[in-house]
Structure 1
Amino acid sequence: MFDGTSDPLSSSNPSSSKRPGRRPRRIGRGLVVSLVLLVSAVAGAIAWLLTPPPPYTPLTGQDPQKVALFALGDQGSGDLQQWRVAMGMERAAERNGGVNGVLLLGDNFYGPALKGTSDRTWQLRFERVYWGKWLSHVPFYAVLGNHDFPKSSSVELAYSREARGSRRWQMPDYFYTRDFGLVDGRPLLRVVFLNSSAPREGLLQQAEFIRQTFSAPGPAPIWKVVAAHIPPRNLGDHGNDDALLGDLLPALQQSGVDLYVAAHDHDQQLIVRPGEPAWVISGGGGQKLDALPPSASQEALYAASRPGFTGLQFTAQRVQLAYYDENGKPDHGFAWNRNCPWMAKGCLLPETDGQLAGN
């Protein structure tokens, strides 16, 4: 009965009754620990990426009568594709039993010009990209591409001359030469590295440098190679470079150069012509790919628009060449026996197994 001291609806109106407050959710200790570990791991990874590595320790116990090299260009995008190809190189080196060095064929840094030898781009597009059991212990011999010259060329040269970072970056001058291996007192391999983006006066100077280098006094090299960014012959989008054909090809022929290794087109090609070096194009190092016309596969020994790199292994008896995909899987191998009496046309022939022999 209502006695005037209470609200007759208070006991029956659920909306008027007080509800107990919700207890705040507590974050589990395990979740907190996981978050802390994740943040620490991310911070550690960033610090590793941006910190210059210590000077590299060269490999020891290498056989001087066998030289294995990887070659790739157009790699300096900084994109995930560049990292994938680098991991494939490490896998291939492990499978093959090692590698002696890498030829970087230009367009080493896309985008804005390098600000200096302390630019973080060095860590993100070179030092920390090519890192592992094998790649961290071998030199990288670089040439300038059209995206490097002239805007970043002075910095790329300074990084080598000042022995910055891991000291693996080798580019002592705009063009230079190196010998690899030794067989009975003869260099197994001599490589001339060019700046193919130079103006015509510079190209003519380099043509004379090729002649002088391969005719220098002393034991002649068993194999002769030229490395540059732009190939004189190209079945891709860029096509043949008439200036290079006119200025460099006579010097290559007079010097008996066996292989001209280049990039520029973002694909893989192997072109042979009578009386000329083999034109080895390996431009799938990390940039967006270029499409190849259907005619390329008909005119070339090999043509594929895919990311990857090229492997070259030299002995006194033969050179083996294999094209690798981004995972380090070999495909379409070729071999050239040194006792073959012709140039690349007729001597550089397909192999049934493209995988390079162990180093």
Structure 2
Amino acid sequence: MSWRMEFQYGVLMFCFLCGSALSLARDVDHIVLRDGDGESLNFLVVGDWGRKGEYNQSRVAYQMGRIGEELGVEFVISTGDNFYEDGLTGANDPSFEESFSDIYTAKSLQKPWYAVLGNHDYRGDALAQLSPVLTSKDNRWHCRRSFTLTKQFRIPSSPETMLADSSVQLLFVDTTPFVENYWKIPNEHKYDWRGVAPRSAYIRRQLQQELEMGLRTSNATWKIVIGHHTIRSVGVHGDTVELIHMLLPILEKYDVDLYVNGHDHCLEHIRSVTSKLQFLTSGGGSKAWRGIGESADMNGLEMFYNGQGFMSIQIGPTNLHATFYDIDGNVIHNLDLDKKELHHEDVA
């Protein structure tokens, strides 16, 4: 199976396992990659960026390249709104090169880019971003409506300490179809719902057959869900009501650690007041400075940065470290989580 196949009814899973050889296991909806030393998983997160280098997109890209080199990142995640203002006109739209290939040129960024679609992407030819034509032009580009990435950590044991196997699972969700306002007719904008309509069936398939099944059967130590739209945000877009009602209960039910999104053009960290879930917004890839919403719910707010920037996430067997960077590459906020309960002292 290759990226040329359409996965409308399955979850696309990438499994990064320890080992020195790179192999590709083929299945109906399952790609397995074996590579790396198994010690950690390092990646960058950027969203709301595609403006042909304008609105400081190029400056953010430069700092991403620098930080990516320092951390030795394995890939980059895009939280959507990949091409402004109205997505791509087709698979041969020069905006793909002008906003992506020609901007993110640093050596450290020549790694896979895993992208979800944002609402601005749906305002153009949404299928173009899913097309293998783009991957043939730039083999970094991997965009799907929903898919999963998994990395397994093999932790050596010793006579003194026994460590359970650990893993991280990242589940990507297509959130734009959830927002009811985009479906209204007449609408200010036209949305490309090919492969999505009818809305209710598509949402049910995403939640029940893909996301919930993936979480229910997961034994991952770390569970991270990525989507474009906010669940919680104090930015101008604010909370997304549909996701609070439909997506949030699933994330809390299966003890998801992070929900990572874009949509609001800022950097943001909100701590859930009802569960261990952390909400991280990385939507500062280009145009920003829109401020805090007038009726924002400030409960759980840990950090809000009204400007451009990006995130890095470093995950080890028992610890997770997320860092927010501004346009000059300065650290503006850190989040540290640990799961030391994985360490079991041998008392025999």
Name which of 145, 165, 168 aligns with 1:174.
145
Greater strand share, structure number: 2
Local SS of the residue matching 1:188: strand
Partner of 2:125: 152
Render the CA deviation track for 1:7-27: whole Å, top value 9, x for unaligned. xxxxxxxxxxxxxxxxxxxxx
Paired with 1:62 and 1:133, the residues of 2 have a C-alpha distance of 18
The secondary structure found in structure 2 opposite 1:163 is helix
Q: Which amino acid aligns with 1:76?
A: G
Q: Residues 112 and 151 from structure 1, CA distance in 2 versus in 1: closer, same or farther, beyond 3 angstroms?
A: closer
TM-score, length basis structure 1: 0.71
State whether residues 186 and 221 of structure 1, in contact with CA within 8 Å, keep that contact through their aligned partners in structure 2: no
Q: Which residue identity is paired with 2:67?
A: A
Greater shift, 179-188 or 79-88, is seen at 179-188
Q: After superposition, what is the alpha-carbon deviation per residue over 1:207-264, rounded to whole angstroms, capped at 9, x for unaligned?
A: 2222111223xx7112101111001111111111111111111111122111000011
Shift of 1:112: 4.1
Map 1:235-246 to 2 at 5 A: 235-246=234-245
Q: Secondary structure of 2:120's partner?
A: coil
- 1:1-359 alignment to 2 at 5 Å? 62-80=36-54, 81-96=56-71, 98-136=72-110, 138-149=111-122, 151-159=124-132, 163-171=135-143, 173-184=144-155, 188-199=167-178, 201=200, 202-208=202-208, 209-216=210-217, 220-273=219-272, 274-292=274-292, 299-339=300-340
Q: TM-score, normalised by structure 2?
A: 0.73
Q: Distance in 1 between matches of 2:257 and 2:152?
A: 17
Mean CA deviation greater in 323-332 or 238-247: 323-332
Task: Specify every segment of 5 or more residues in structure 1 that has no aligned partner in the other structure, as ranges.
Answer: 1-57, 342-359
Q: Displacement of 1:110 after TM fit?
A: 0.6
Q: Is the 8 A contact 2:284 2:308 kept in 1?
A: yes
Q: Secondary structure at the match of 1:148?
A: helix
User: Bigger shift: 246-255 or 184-193?
Assistant: 184-193
> Does the Cα contact within 8 Å between 2:53 and 2:103 map onto a contact in 1?
no
Residue by residue over 1:287-343, the C-alpha shift from the partner in whole angstroms, topping out at 9 and shown as x without a partner, is: 2332125977785111110100011100011000110011222222120011379xx
Q: CA separation in 1, counterparts of 2:222 and 2:104?
A: 27
Distance 1:296 1:327, change over 3 A: farther
Q: 1:170 to 1:84 in 2, by over 3 A?
A: same
> Following the alignment from structure 1 to structure 2, what is the Cα–Cα distance between the partners of residues 325 and 61?
31
Q: Distance in 2 between matches of 1:244 and 1:174?
A: 16
Tell me the distance in 1 between the aligned counterparts of 2:132 and 2:291. Answer: 34
Q: Deviations over 1:68-126 (max 9, x none)?
A: 11111111122331111010001112233x11111100000012442322221111111
Q: Is the 8 A contact 1:266 1:289 kept in 2?
A: yes
For 1:339 and 1:277, the matched residues in 2 are separated by 17
- Residue 92 of structure 1 aligns to which amino acid in structure 2? I
Aligned to 1:12: none
| CA distance 1:204–1:277, change in 2 (3 Å) | farther
Bigger drift between 184-193 and 205-214 goes to 184-193
1:62–1:327 distance in 2 versus 1, CA, 3 Å:
farther
The gaps in structure 2 that reach 5 residues or longer are 1-21, 23-33, 156-163, 179-198, 343-348
Give identity over the alignment, percent.
27
Q: Which amino acid aligns with 2:336?
A: A
In structure 2, the CA distance between the partners of 1:297 and 1:211, relative to structure 1 (3 Å rule), is: closer
How many angstroms apart in 2 are the aligned matches of 1:315 and 1:228?
Answer: 23
| Cα separation, 2, equivalents of 1:90 and 1:150 | 29
Bigger Rg, structure 1 or 2: 1
> Retained in 2: the 8 A contact 1:106–1:229?
yes
Maintained 8 Å contact 2:48/2:284: yes
C-alpha separation in 2, matches of 1:187 and 1:168: 27
SS of alignment partner, residue 130 of structure 1: coil
CA distance in 1 between partners of 2:277 and 2:338 (Å): 14
Aligned partners of 2:268 and 2:282 also within 8 Å: yes
CA distance in 1, matches of 2:165, 2:341: 19
Deviation digits for residues 257-286 of structure 1, max 9, x if unmatched? Answer: 110000111011100112152100011001
2:311 counterpart SS class: strand
